[in-house]
Structures are given as C-alpha cells and as structure tokens.
Amino acid sequence: MDSYRQRFLDPNQRAFFIERTGVVLRWWLIVSCSAIQFISPIIPFTVFYLALPLAVGYNLTLHLLVRKRTDFIAIMTVISSIMDIIFSLVLIYAGGSQDIYLWYIILLISHAARFGMKGVIISGVLFSAFYTASILLRDLPVSLQDLALRSLFINLIAIVSGYLAREEHEEFDNILIGQKEMLEEQNRRRELRSMLQRYLSYNIVDELIEHPEVLQPGGSLKKVSVVFSDIKGFTTLLSLKEPEEVIIRLNSYLEEMSNVIFEYGGMVDKFVGDAVIGIFGAINQRENDTLSAVRCALAMQKRLKELQGDWEKEGGDSISFHTRIAIDTGKVIIGNIGSPKRMDFTAIGDTVNTASRLQTVADPDTVVISSRTCEEICEHVVTEDMGSLQLRGKPEPVRVYRVTGLKK
C-alpha cells in the first residue's frame, strides 16, 4: 500500500517522470544531432567539439541523479530547464541560418511538460526572438519573410505542445484525485473495520461497512435480545486479591466472553467494569436472534468453567469467577449516541435495564431469562419457573425462568 500511495500521490512523482523522460530525449538528441553534424554540418565543428562533452556530462549527471531519486528533484527541474535554454541559445546562435527545428521541438515539448501552457508559450516566444536576434546579429542572408515563418513555426509548436501538456496535466490530476479518494476510502474502511472488530463479529462488521449509514449519529427502534453477564462479588475479590492479578484474569475472561458472543453472531455493546453486555439483532436481524442469545449465554458459562480449570492448573492462589447471566427481549433505541467528540454505538431502553436487574436475582453460574424471552424460545430450551419477582426499579413483577439446557 505504501508503494502504491507513493506512486500515485507523491507530488514529486510527476517531476521524476518528466526528468526521466527528458534524460532519454537528450540522449537521443545527442546521438542523432551528432550523426547529422558529421553528415551535413549544422554548426561549426569548433562549437560542436566544445558542446558535445558538456552535453554528455550534463545529461549523464542528471541521469544518475534521477536514478538515485534525489529529494532535490524540484531544484533539478529548474536547473535542467535553465541549462536546456543555455544550450539552445548556443545552438541557435551557432547554427545561424540552419533550420535546426528538431532541437526546438524537443525542447518546447520538454518545457510544456515542466511549465504547462503559459510556460511553453513564453518559451516559444523567447526562442523565436533569440533565433531572429542571432540571425540579425550575425547579419546572415535570411529574408524577413523566412524569419517570420520560422518564428511562427516555433510558436505554433509551443501552442500545440502547451495545449497537449495542459490536457495531460488535467488528466493526470484527475487520476491523482481518483486514486487519492480510493486510498482514503480504503483507509477509512480499514480503520473502521479495525475499530468495529473489537466489538462485533466479522459478519456484522462486513454489513456495517457495506451500510455505513447505520453508524450516523442518531438511533432507530429495534427488537433485540440483551445478554447481561456480571461477576458475583468482583468488588470484594479486588480487595482480597492482588489487583494486578485480578485484572489480568479479568482481561482474559472478557476476551473469551467476547469471542463467544462473536461466535453466536452477537455484538459486544460494552464492558461496564466486570460486566459484559451483548446484543443480538442490533445490526442484521434474524429470526433466531433470541435463541442465539440463550445459546450464547449457556456457552459463556461453559467457557468460564473451562477457563477456571485452566487457571487452577496454573497452581498458586487461584482466582475464581462466578457469573450470573440474564437475558431480556424487547425494543430498544440502537445507534450512534453521544457527542460529536465521543460517540458510542450502543442500545438504550427498558430491555437493557431489565436484563441488568434480572442478573441480580440469578444464582452464580446460571442463566435466567424474562417471560418475553421465554415466549419466543420456550420450545427450544429447558427452563425452571422461578415465579414473578419484583426487580429494583420495575413497577410490576417480572416472570423469571432459569435456563437449564437446550432441548434436543
């Protein structure tokens, strides 16, 4: 990705392309003009023998600098353009009446690539002026009509090459803009995926990335099943054990519980101290969300027992976690909630509060569900009726069931 970014977004990349092309063109000019000079001399050989080693040395230096991809490419562009002008003036003056238009064409195209429409037109005017001045200063027998035609030819080349350079520059800019937007979108998706995968299973992450409007500020009313898991006596445990050791175990526990929630297609809403809140049906709702929530809760208890066994095998003063898990089903407001500086994709509503209250009446290492949850999945699970219990903050008693297993 970094090389891709450098290739399309580095502002020096265009300058490198121009100078690389200029080096190739100069080698071609040096070879072709040298051959022409020996076949049909254009300039005096005294000037040729002086200019040839200078041209070779100058172009070889640029060739090596471009290959090393020096950071001074912008300065190189200015220097090389000035040197091109100096060489052209020497050839224009030395050539006199000879029509060395080949050099003018290549030089003007090179200037068009460097400086665009305005720069190349100015170069064309200057070259035609220098060409005319050299003829007049040397008092060569060239008619004014021929001078005008040659100057017109040079300026037409400048205009055409400048126009083509402008079109190419605009197209190049459009490519850059398109590539930049694509890279920004890829980076945004990658950052979004990295963030969401901390809370959601991969299938939900894919759906959110495909429908990012769900993450816009605000919320929508959805029916979900909320899984609320809490460690019994965690505060007391902190005061009895080394806090560092307890936190290490807590982090391991939270990671495993999150993985179980992901495995069953749920969303980790948040961690509240030692409590884990999972939501099923938050993004892509399915018919079996409620059953998945119950299966997930049972799997969480099973996984905790396995963890507890692993911790006991480690020896020493082991730390025991015993969780109470409760599930309630109902409608909540779910969405991106908070301030512009701090947003949470979370759920708010009575269902979340009820699940939180329900877990307080559960025995350690058990799963309890509300009557609303039981109505939807009673044919799939084995339950024990705990009766109607008065929960803190609830005006009416809530019918509670203990889940003991799944029906085969």
Cβ neighbours around 393 below 10 Å, total = 9
Asked which of 306-310, 337-341, 346-350 is least confident by mean pLDDT, the reply is 337-341
Report the pLDDT averaged over residues 264-284. 87
User: 279 - beta bridge partners?
Assistant: 226, 267
Q: Which residues contact 345 (CB under 8 A, 6 or more apart)?
A: 199, 215, 334, 335, 336, 337
Let me know if residue 382 belongs to a domain.
yes
User: Could you give the CA distance from residue 345 to residue 225 in angstroms, rounded to a whole number?
Assistant: 16
Asked which of 25-29, 120-124, 340-344, 389-393 is least confident by mean pLDDT, the reply is 340-344
- pLDDT digit string (tens) for 160-192? 777 776 776 677 677 767 777 887 877 777 777
Same domain for 99 and 156, yes or no, is: yes
Report the pLDDT averaged over residues 129-152. 78
Same domain for 231 and 115, yes or no, is: no
Closest listed residue to residue 212, CA positions, set 228, 226, 229, 195:
195
Residue carrying structure tokens 């109607």:
388
Same domain for 159 and 64, yes or no, is: yes
Let me know if residue 103 belongs to a domain.
yes
Q: Measure the CA angle with vertex 27, ends 108 and 118; round to 5°.
A: 15
User: Could you give the CA distance from residue 52 to residue 68 in angstroms, rounded to a whole number?
Assistant: 25
Q: What are the C-alpha distances in Å from 343 to residues 281, 339, 346?
A: 20, 6, 9
- pLDDT digit string (tens) for 63-89? 887 777 666 776 777 777 777 777 777
Long-range residue pairs from 134-138, CB within 8 A, at least 24 positions apart, any chain: 134/92, 134/93, 134/95, 134/96, 135/96, 135/97, 137/93, 138/93, 138/96
**What is the domain range of residue 96?**
2-187
Let me know if residue 193 belongs to a domain.
no
Let me know if residue 201 belongs to a domain.
no
Same domain for 15 and 125, yes or no, is: yes
Let me know if residue 200 belongs to a domain.
no
Share of the chain above pLDDT 90, in %: 21
Same domain for 175 and 323, yes or no, is: no
Same domain for 129 and 266, yes or no, is: no
Residue 279 pLDDT more than 80? yes
Let me know if residue 204 belongs to a domain.
no
Same domain for 333 and 288, yes or no, is: yes
Asked if 95 contacts 150 with a C-beta cutoff of 8 angstroms, the reply is no
Same domain for 176 and 237, yes or no, is: no
The pLDDT of residue 213 is 64
Report the pLDDT averaged over residues 211-227. 76
Q: Is the dihedral of CA 171, 176, 181, 183 positive or negative?
A: positive
Residue 302 pLDDT more than 70? yes
Report the pLDDT averaged over residues 281-301. 90
Residue 203 pLDDT more than 60? no
User: pLDDT band for position 324 (50/70/90)?
Assistant: very high
Q: Which two tokens stand for residue 181?
A: 């937007």
The total domain count for the chain is 2
Let me know if residue 203 belongs to a domain.
no
User: Could you give the CA distance from residue 364 to residue 309 in angstroms, rounded to a whole number?
Assistant: 17
Same domain for 159 and 79, yes or no, is: yes
CATH number at residue 400: 3.30.70.1230
Report the pLDDT averaged over residues 119-125. 77
Name the DSSP class of 363: P
